[in-house]
Amino acid sequence: MYFGTCFANCFNYWIKQRFLYWRIQNPWQNDDAFDFCHNIKSINIPKEITKIGNGAFYCCSNLVQIHHSCELTSLGEGAFDETLWLNNQPDGCVYFGNHLYKYKGKMPENTSIEVADGTISICHHAFENCKNLGFGAANNAAA
């Protein structure tokens, strides 16, 4: 069952959580599932979760804390864009667990990126609009 953007712009997070708990086994995997939910400040991602969909928390502008013990196999592009969590990350490569989520900030010319050991994926558009980018080899890194 796929619900996609069924809760976009929803201001009642409790209603969303109850509905998703009862009706969907893994709501996190749906694209845009919680986008524009400005009341979300913190999320706890259960350890059973293996996928977070594209834009799942896009523009949840007050989302500042993300707690997780999960081992994701897939992290969707833009899942945490336009959140306080992302804004609070230092410039450079931003990782979410073992996923290289994106490059944040203005990349200096002739920058070389060394992907961290243990990285299992690089999210789509992770280096969008980055110029003069080079990659160094890393063990077990997947694109």
- 126-142: pLDDT as tens digits: 998 887 686 554 444 44
Distance CA 88, CA 69 (A): 20
- Half-sphere exposure at residue 89, Cβ-oriented, CA atoms within 13 angstroms: 21
pTM of this structure: 0.75
- Per-residue 3-state assignment (H helix, E strand, C coil) for 43-73: EEECCCCCEECCCCCCCCCCCCEEEECCCCC
pLDDT at residue number 90: 97
103: pLDDT strictly greater than 80: yes
Residue 56: closest CA among 83, 39, 38, 79: 79
Which of the pair, 72 or 6, is modelled with greater confidence? Answer: 72
Distance CA 63, CA 79 (A): 12
Given a contact cutoff of 8 angstroms between Cβ atoms, the answer to whether 98 and 118 are in contact is: yes
